Amino acid sequence: MDAKRESHDLEQTISKLVPGQVFEHLQTKEEGLTAEEANKRLAQYGKNTIKEKQGKPLYIQFLANFTSMMAILLWISGSIAFIARMPELGIAVWCVNLINGVFSFIQEYRAGKATEALKQMLASYARVIRDGQEQQILTDDLVPGDVMLIEEGDKISADARLVKSSDLQINQSALTGESNPVRKFSDAISRDDLTIFETSNLIFTGSTVSTGSGQAVVIKTGMDTEFGKIAKLTQNVIHELSPLQKELNRLTKQISIIAMTFGVCFFLLAIFFVKDPIAESFIFALGMIVAFIPEGLSPTVTLALAQGVQRMAKKNALVKNLSSVETLGCTSVICTDKTGTLTQNEMTVNNIWLPDRELEVTGTGYAPEGKILDNGQVISVDSNSALKLIVTAASLCSNARVVAPNEENRAFTVLGDPTEACLGVAAEKAGISVEQLQKDLPRIRELHFDSRRKRMTTIHQLAHPVNGKNRVAYTKGAPKELINLCDTVFINGDVTPLTAAVKQRAMEANDEYARLGLRVLAIAVRYIGRDDKDIPANLSSYSPENIEQRMTFIGLVVMADPPRPEVADAVAEAHKAGIRIVMITGDYGLTAESIAKRIGIVKGEHPRIISGIDLENMSDEELKTALKGEIVFARVAPEQKYRVVDNLQQMGEIVAVTGDGVNDAPALKRADIGVAMGIAGTDVAKEAADMILTDDNFASIVHAVEQGRAVYNNIRKFLLYILNSNVPEAVPSAFFLFSKGAIPIPLTIMQILFIDLGTDLIPALGLGAEEPEKGIMNKPPRNLTEPLLNKKIILKAFLWYGILESIVSMFAFFFVNYINGYSAAGWAPEGSEIYIIATTMTLSGIVFSQIAAVMNCRTESQSVFRKGLWKNRTINIGIILEIAFLLMIMYVPLFQKVFGTAPIGVSSWLFLFCIPPIILAIEEIRKAFSRKFAHNNMKL
């Protein structure tokens, strides 16, 4: 913190100095450093580069994907299978593990390239003055004290203090997130209430020169720059397990305990109850342990996540890391920027205020599609001279232009300041061709905008003199400052004295627009002729002092970056889903508050607005208290956005963060789920993020949250499904044990493994592809303390579906014995033909029960018929394949021998085909009662 404060103090000190003092303070001069001094400083400060933090070696990263808790369980499971004399199973389990590990490594390797992208943003060469001569040097060799030359199109290569500037505008969007170019000057700054990026005589690494030129003295290089600090923050973010990864680790422990418990119980029962030999009991117990381990969990989770990725892609959200899909589902707070995400990033004139009326401008964006309305009636420049004058003046007093869609850009694009561009669009809507206007009134002089005057003036040659005047000056600027320069006003086609009453009305209108977060420009005009004694005849002598006076006030132009039309609904849906939204923007507080209220992010009349300067003076405890209420952050620095995210996480929130600039990279990296803008976003932001929005639209995040929730629900559905068959797999062994061997074991170990890896797996994978259920966004984010394998799933799997399937499968076993003349007096002996047919029927009974179960598991309480019984293609294919596999092991001799099966008769097949509809009907009845009970509780 001390180093940070010291750094800030240096910049404040430098900004307050006049240019001559800057050279002295930095121990340099206008002729630049000497080559000898530059070499000394290079040795002292090091290269001007972004240093990359050394990560783990590639082979360590690769091996880490095979050492998660689930991976270790599968390695052990495969080893047990080999010990239990089932090498085929062991090989299959290990292959599953290898495939998942390689896939995870590929995903991880593609992520985390933020530092590399940061380095690519820096210029390769810089122009400096050394030994009194202009030179081009590698940016790596820049040192503090170097005198750097910049002009339009240049990338800034180091943090520096301007000592000369000419109409200089810098695009700092990569650092601040705000797209409008910022005017920069070399004058000393006396204010202390500015953030570092608002300081108009400082320029920063990573920004670019939009217009103009300048000369600056380098203050900081490399990792000491603001750009370097962002890189350092991004690199130092510690990677943590996602909520799903943590949950899967917990699930692995639970499953391991369950499997080991069953294995030990069956081992002890086999020895002490059935009196089996220890060796056979041990092999039997090992088989049961492997049977209880869900080998298909990893591929199913992977597929569920991959399916979520595909569905998100269709909704304009590209996910880089698979685990991020589910993280979105448990997101409880979204920290979003404003420009381009919540708004369209297209400044639009929406009102024109004239002294005698207020006009509405329809249409949004840069397409010249809209109308000018006066009390709902369309008007044009032909019917209102004041409208013609104000749109003419505003559009000509501008250096921006709008480019129509072409092969490279499908939308209207802006060259220059978006605020100026929208003025020309308003003129087009009023019926004026700006291109023709520029030809009719050619510009002959410009008085550039500066922050002291807060205005800009352009002078044009008139084709036809007006009242003997052959030139006209159009001025736009801050209302208060510009109105004070006017002594007349244009109303109803007449120029009359500007009264105090008109001034008051104009300022009241300006204040009201400002309260709504709108941007307001005042427009004025002055006609110039040879008889104006206060104006020099020489055009080059025109200055603000002699032109910007005795002007005629025309009116106010009111503009805003409109919210995206779909954002308000998306915000409402997020709130309904229990997700808080916190706006963090580089824009001003009033504008941010207005947008936040308009789209519903905040509901209260007076939400708390915290600026970057306020945040700097707050403790973490004060910040946490503030974060519990309605809050908007404005004019914040990169490390402050990072701090907000960090504090939210300390409060137990799962945080998603949106961003598009270099400044957002640390927060994107720190967040549980970083969301970068695909259109406006920098490469750095995209590399640091977990997800990229291809349409830069907040609504796409909410759609992605819905898919994330669906993924988690699908994993639970899969878990329920595979646990269903564990009970009917265990019950036959229980019959064998508790009958002390009188009942031959109705289901062999190989048949159990056939169910787990042969028939259950593909339908289970289909559950991972289920679409979100209706009402999924009407619930709050899931409780992170609730385990994936919760009490509800255990009860439903073991005591409902499990018992139903056990009854069916054991009935099938006894049914075969009964129709073949065997009963409790003497069951078909182990190894006999009837016994093999009976175990085949037990196996088939479980498989057909699972056909019904997979359909039932597709919904929690909704009727599967309403969702579409055969809508899930993967499940349908899975059902067909599991029946095909069952037929194969029944009728192919080689597989009959491996799995201990035999063909069954027609009556048995009829029995089996009756199982799915019966179980499906029973479950539909239970779901109907469940829905009715939930509905009655809601009424209460």
By annotation, the residues acting in catalysis are 337
* Residue located via tokens 């294995």: 263
Q: Are 854 and 878 in contact (CB under 8 A)?
A: yes
Cα 856 from Cα 730, distance rounded (Å): 22
Cα 380 from Cα 353, distance rounded (Å): 15
> What tokens appear for 724 in the block?
């269903």
Query: Ramachandran region of residue 517, left (φ > 0), alpha (ψ -120 to 50) or beta?
Result: left
Cα 286 from Cα 727, distance rounded (Å): 17
Cα 474 from Cα 524, distance rounded (Å): 6
Burial class of residue 868 in the structure, from the number of CB atoms within 10 Å of its CB (0-12 exposed, 13-18 middle, 19+ buried)? exposed
Phi then psi dihedrals of residue 160, to 5 deg: -150, 160
Cα 220 from Cα 225, distance rounded (Å): 5
Cα 853 from Cα 603, distance rounded (Å): 45
* Residue located via tokens 């072409």: 406
* Residue located via tokens 């090091």: 46
Please tell me the number of Cα atoms within 13 Å of 345 on its side-chain side. 23
User: Residues 199, 201, 202, 203: what is their CA dihedral angle, to the nearest 10 degrees?
Assistant: 120
Cα 524 from Cα 396, distance rounded (Å): 12
Q: Exposure pattern of 90-109 as b/e (b: 16+ CB <10 Å)?
A: bebbbebbeebbebbbebbe
Cα 70 from Cα 784, distance rounded (Å): 19
Q: Are 476 and 456 in contact (CB under 8 A)?
A: yes
Q: Provide the residue type at 814 as one letter.
A: F
> What tokens appear for 25 in the block?
């303070």
Burial class of residue 839 in the structure, from the number of CB atoms within 10 Å of its CB (0-12 exposed, 13-18 middle, 19+ buried)? buried
Residues contacting residue 440 through CB under 8 Å, at least 6 positions apart: 463
Q: Are 270 and 279 in contact (CB under 8 A)?
A: no
Nearest to 726 by CA among 567, 576, 583, 849: 849
> What tokens appear for 729 in the block?
């797999």
Residue 755: DSSP 8-state: I
* Residue located via tokens 């921006």: 400
Three-state secondary-structure class, residue 186: coil
Burial class of residue 9 in the structure, from the number of CB atoms within 10 Å of its CB (0-12 exposed, 13-18 middle, 19+ buried)? exposed
Phi then psi dihedrals of residue 490, to 5 deg: -95, 115
> What tokens appear for 896 in the block?
């009959």
Helix H or strand E encompassing 554: strand 551-560
Residue 662: DSSP 8-state: G
Q: Tell me whether strands 357-361 and 333-336 are parallel, antiparallel or unpaired.
A: unpaired
Phi then psi dihedrals of residue 450, to 5 deg: -145, 160
> What tokens appear for 841 in the block?
């029927």
Residues contacting residue 258 through CB under 8 Å, at least 6 positions apart: 292
Please tell me the number of Cα atoms within 13 Å of 860 on its side-chain side. 17
Nearest to 809 by CA among 927, 726, 740, 926: 726
Cα 751 from Cα 732, distance rounded (Å): 12
> What tokens appear for 344 in the block?
């369209």
